[in-house]
Structure 1
Amino acid sequence: MSARPAVSPDPLSLKDHARTLALAEGFDAFGIAEPDMVGPAGERLRAWIAEERYGDMGWMAETVDRRVHARAMWPAALKVVMLGLNYGPDQDPRAILAQRSHGAISVYAQGEDYHDLIKAKLKRVARGLLAAARAGDVKVFVDTAPLMEKPLAMAAGLGWQGKHTNLVSRARGSWLFLGAIATTLDLPADDPSGDHCGGCRACLEACPTAAFPAPYQLDARRCISYLTIEHKGPIPRELRPLMGNRIYGCDDCLAACPWNKFAVLGQEAKLAARDDNRAPALAELAALDDAGFRARFAKSPIKRTGRARFLRNVLIALGNSADPAQAEPARALLADPEPLVRGAAVWALSRLLDAKAFALLAGTHAPGEADPEVAAEWAANPGPLA
């Protein structure tokens, strides 16, 4: 959108108009913040980077200065309109964890990709705001820029960053997608939210992999959401048994928050869980070839991970199923063209086969394995529950 001078004869009316536009688009939370109002989150981010808790996400270190100082990204921006869209689930997302032969997909990824949906909504709100102002400029963001959305949402009064580092809303609990509209219009800012976690540690204690070294601190290298989505290589062996059947993301810390007693069901139909994503059979997912994977997850954020990483996750879940009948889907992937998949198949079979059957399999496959990481999996997994 072309830049024009920010001239607003009535900023308060423009703000009210923007709120009306946002509600019409289905957003559930609205607030305005100064671009640099990230508070102590900026220093926590710098400490997090210094301790290298970002894992494979090297871009976090590369963009830290722009994240901490949002105006460095767009110096002309005077305000950021923060918007939240509720995606509250219709059931406890942890219930699936007991169905060990089925995969647990994070609530946010059970429907269509929120990035595309929310970006379109933000653009319509932004266009309506500029039309009313007859001046100014805007940029819209949905996880697409080095912008600290959660601290800005707290500054805009949408909620606060809980001890699990995610946003918590007194009205919606843990289930809010965030979007941002940066603008050169000088709209009135809202009062920031306070922190209402108190002495509660429910989210910290719910984490299966102990990914929180302290309140408000996350070690991504131990987080199941990071491991199943962003991490590119083999998942550390000591963490695999702790993942259970979580194959894409993890909702445990979010679902444990007591503020979810105020959460309501999300109303955006495109974000509602697809039936085939609620509890997909692991064996069926393991059979997906590349074309099948792309077709199955065409409109889902899961497609961003790619087949190899996704099947790595599925195979770890198969290995954790404690069901020997799940060995056959894993066995079929020993010849997969992707080393990441073959290595995960070795680990799954080491958990599902008895010692004799696994030794026979190793005698057939291990000597011919050319990839050093897959060969290391054969060497490191001598038998069941090793």
Structure 2
Amino acid sequence: MGKRERLSGNEAVAIALRQINPDVFPAFPITPSTEIPQYFASFVANGQVDTEFIPVESEHSSMSAAIGASAAGARSLTATSSCGLAYMWEELYIAASNRLPLALALVNRALSGPININCDHSDSMGARDAGWIQIYAENNQEAYDNMVQAYRISEHADVRLPIMICQDGFITSHAVENIELLDDAEVKNFVGEYEPENYLLNPECPMAVGPYAITDYYMEAKRSQAEGMKHVPAVVEEVAKEFAKVSGREYGLFESYCMEDAERAVVMIGSAAGTTKDAIDRLREQGEKVGLVKIRLFRPFPADEIAETLKNVKAVAIMDRAESYTNHGGPLGADVMSALYRAKADALAVNYIYGLGGRDVRVEDMEGVFEALKQMIADGDAGETYRYLGIRE
């Protein structure tokens, strides 16, 4: 039986990791992810885990150590935010290209400059093409549940890719919510023991990790990564079904909220989905047919499934908490609009940039977005498709 607790998102993730009991956890502090290794270090000191906890000199080193441990056959992870993720950029590609199923607990924070320690998705969106699986959480419960499922996904024989479990800095990482934890034994049984097939410390199978790839081999290595990514959606859904059996909580590639008859919809990632649900509830009481598609799995991107969910809407707003500086919108906007185009969808679409650097997003703001969608339908024209929400002009 699970038990109710009041926890911050960081503490919830740290508890999930205690229950998983990984082999190696190298860490370097950076706001707002510092609490994850801080909490975990106390578990190590108290003898609650067998993990080798390694304080390192930088985020580049923390990912390097996690890669080395994973290549050696250990279940490893690290945690970071913002500039810490940027500092380990080179290593992200190495982890993915070596098909190492390690985990990263990422607490989303704006990248400098200007210097800012609050939430947006510029850090993880910058790494979206590094070859990592990316899963995002709306709230503390989801952050905990996603971490419990992480290794089952990344270590799957058809996948074997690193996984990034993302939550919004301060909004979920430090805010305290009521959540339900699984029993330690339930998590241990669900995650299982790590049994790598190929690893450096296997004396029966000498091997190299990360060798130089000449022209004759490099493309095939990249195609291998892409093939692994193709299997991720099915594995995510398979693991989610098994998780629902032990937790009673259901997850998919994304969540559809009031989409059955929606004529206007919002697509977004992260904690602002909760605010949007409140706006939808208000508008539904007034008879408005509005809905939400909340992305959980962003990499790989479930384009066909999202296009199918949006096939009957007349207008859609795609909300990005990161800029791409393309003059056309953000990364989520590009992916969703591409999916709609390939599906030959008729929906009018607009891309909003919102919440950068922790800018607050209110229920009234999201009601305004739905009102703008209503006007687009009335006009029969999306108008300016690249907009900012809540900006001082």
TM-score clears 0.5: no
Relative to its length, the structure with more helix (as a share) is 1
TM-score (norm 1): 0.29
TM-score (norm 2): 0.28
Bigger CA radius of gyration = 1
